[in-house]
Structure 1
Amino acid sequence: MKVSANIFWIIGAFLIAVATLYAFWTEWTEWAGIPAFYALGAMSWMIAWYLRSTDRKYGLGPADDEDGEIADFAGTYGTFAPWSWWPLGLGIACAIVVTGLAVGWWVFFIGAGLSIFFLYGWVYEFSKGKYAH
């Protein structure tokens, strides 16, 4: 993960430099691209920080071992629910929220309510019913 973290540090620095150059080029008048480039740089640095802190917490991973084999990646990476319909509902609700920004606030509030419902269901899907832990 050290290599991945270093790559994201470099990408973030590049994007910050590009954002500054672009800002001077447009004379700080274009307010869609400038914040977007700065946000991309910040997000790259957030990913780099996460990878670095994860590397410190868990140590050398299979990707960083020069003598590692493909089989070292085998195993369970988490708990997944392939039968779950909650993510689909949340995606549709988020689409309704974005549509509400263009159409009207009443659509936005309907989508926000649905988003809260589906997010709650997805978070607590393993707490009730057949698959409760």
Structure 2
Amino acid sequence: MLAMERIGVVVGVFGFTMATIYGFWTSSTDLGIEWVGVIGLILGGLLGFMIAWYLWMTRRRLEVDPSDDPLGDIDEIQGDYGFFSPHSWWPLFLAAASATCFLGLAVGWWMFIIGAFFAVPALIGWTFEYWKGEHAL
């Protein structure tokens, strides 16, 4: 986690440095400073520092992370990744419906509505796939 924290600091410093250079570079033109690029680089730098701050706070509260140990093994960091349904068809239907929705944004709203019509039941089916008992779908 320490390495990721340092990468966040590097991204933050890079963003602020490039914002300064970009601001001076564009101020030499006839139009003046190009504020969209400067503000975008400042926000990118703030994002890097925000990630570094979050990782620093998390590292302070937790035990020693196995990724910070230079002599640590890879299998020390493994954990529970969650439950994945081995034979579920719902993700395929939801992906097809989502692709239709995104295609509808480019083609027309009528296609988006068709995709949403298929996406809602697919999302409900995937969410409640393992519900059992009296309230099962």
Q: TM-score range by the shorter chain?
A: 0.5 to 0.7
CA drift of 1:104 comes to 0.9
Residues 81 and 54 (structure 1), Cα distance of their counterparts in 2 relative to 1, 3 Å cut? farther
Distance of 1:119 and 1:39 partners within structure 2? 34
- Provide the secondary structure at the position in 1 that maps to 2:83: coil
Alignment root-mean-square deviation, CA: 3.8
Matches within 5 A, 1:1-133: 1-15=1-15, 18=18, 25=26, 28=34, 48=52, 51-126=55-130, 128-129=131-132
Q: Is the radius of gyration larger for structure 1 or structure 2?
A: 2
- Provide the secondary structure at the position in 1 that maps to 2:86: coil
Q: % of aligned pairs identical?
A: 41
Residues 118 and 20 (structure 1), Cα distance of their counterparts in 2 relative to 1, 3 Å cut? farther
Aligned residue-pair number: 127
Per the normalisation by structure 2, the TM-score is 0.58
- Provide the secondary structure at the position in 2 that maps to 1:92: helix
Residues 60 and 19 (structure 1), Cα distance of their counterparts in 2 relative to 1, 3 Å cut? same
Distance of 1:102 and 1:67 partners within structure 2? 52
Amino acid at match of 2:103: T
